[in-house]
Structures are given as C-alpha cells and as structure tokens.
Structure 1
Amino acid sequence: MTEFSADQVVWTSRVSDHFGPVVELRDDAGAVSYYSVEKEFDVAGSSYAVLRQEDGSSEEPEIFKIVTTADGTLELITIDDDEEWENVSELYDELTFPE
C-alpha cells in the first residue's frame, strides 16, 4: 500500500449523517461504548472515521474504516492491516498537527 498525502483527502460526513454525532459500538463481548465523531474522510478509494470515546477513558482518538455492505448499511470496522493503519494514522496526524 502506498502512503497517503493530505492533498488526496476529501472530507466527508457519512457517519455523522447516518448515525449522528455520537456512535454506539459493541465489542466482540457485547460491551457498548459511545464515541463522538471527530473527523471523516476519503483517501485513495477508502473511507475512514476518527472517533473519540465519550467517557474520556482514552486521550487518543481511534480510527475506523468505513465500509458499505451489500444492502447499503454503513459499518465501522477495525483496520487490521498494519501498513494501512500506520498510513492513515500518519495522515491524520499530518492533517491535525501540520508542521
């Protein structure tokens, strides 16, 4: 996978438009966590959402990949590919904290 650059970013609001400003996510054990939507963007043909836990238990936001299922439902999934996660994370840092 190639690195992403800030000039490739298209800001979006699909998750906020679909779920609202706060998203409810369940982990594999069924525990519910609430996240506020900070940013959403498309880059290189993929979509991502930057979310922050509502309870303040983590200072760092979490980045999820946005996918659309065959029936048109939006889902937020964990980025399992280490290289993709690193590229998206670095891009978000670049966009958030420009030099």
Structure 2
Amino acid sequence: MTDYSADQVVWTSRVSDAFGPVVELQDDSGKVSYYNVEKEFDVVGASYAVLRPESGDGDEEHEIFKILTAADGSLELVTIDDDEEWENVSELYDELTFPE
C-alpha cells in the first residue's frame, strides 16, 4: 500500500447524507454507541469516515472507519483491520486537520 497525500483527497458526505450528522453503531456484544460525523473523504479508491463519540467530553479521540458500499447501495462502516492502511489514513487525516 502506498502512502496517501492530501492532493489525492476528495471530500464527500455519503454517510451524513444517508444517516444524518449522528450515526448509531453497534459493537459485537450488542452495545450501541452514537458518533458525530466529523469528516468523510475518498482517497486512492477507498472511502473513510472520521467519527467522534457523541457522549464524550470533547477530548475523546476520533475514530476512522472505512466506508463500504453493499450491492444494494447501502453503506456500511467497518473498522480498518490492516495496520498499514490505518496508519496511512490516520496520518493523512492529521495532515489535513493540522497542516504544518
């Protein structure tokens, strides 16, 4: 996998358009959590959503999910399991959020 760069980013709003500014996610044990959609973007053929826990005090870390599109057109947010992909996307988001 190659490193991503800011000039490859296309800002999107597919998750916000589909679910609104707050999304409900359920973990494997059935616990439901709510997240504010902060940013969404496509880069190098993949889509990502940056979410922040709604119940946090503002100091909570954001979480980045990969956006997958099912055959029926519905969206699914999944965790990024590949460490290199996670590192590349996280660094890219930091670069976009906190430019030097």
Q: How far has the Cα of 1:34 moved from its partner?
A: 0.1
* Structure 2 residue ranges without an equivalent (≥5): none
Whole-angstrom distance in 2 between the partners of 1:82 and 1:9: 20
Q: How far has the Cα of 1:10 moved from its partner?
A: 0.2
Whole-angstrom distance in 1 between the partners of 2:16 and 2:73: 16
Q: How far has the Cα of 1:70 moved from its partner?
A: 1.3
Residue 83 of structure 2 is matched in structure 1 by 82
Whole-angstrom distance in 1 between the partners of 2:63 and 2:47: 14
Give the TM-score normalised by the residue count of structure 1. 0.98
Residue 37 of structure 1 is matched in structure 2 by 37
Give the TM-score normalised by the residue count of structure 2. 0.97
| Alignment pair present for 1:66 and 2:64 | no
Whole-angstrom distance in 2 between the partners of 1:22 and 1:59: 16
Whole-angstrom distance in 2 between the partners of 1:46 and 1:53: 23
* Count of aligned residue pairs for this structure pair: 99
Whole-angstrom distance in 2 between the partners of 1:59 and 1:30: 22
Residue 4 of structure 1 is matched in structure 2 by 4
Structure 1 stretches of 4+ moved >3 Å:
none
* Structure 1 residue ranges without an equivalent (≥5): none
DSSP-derived class of the 1:42 partner: strand
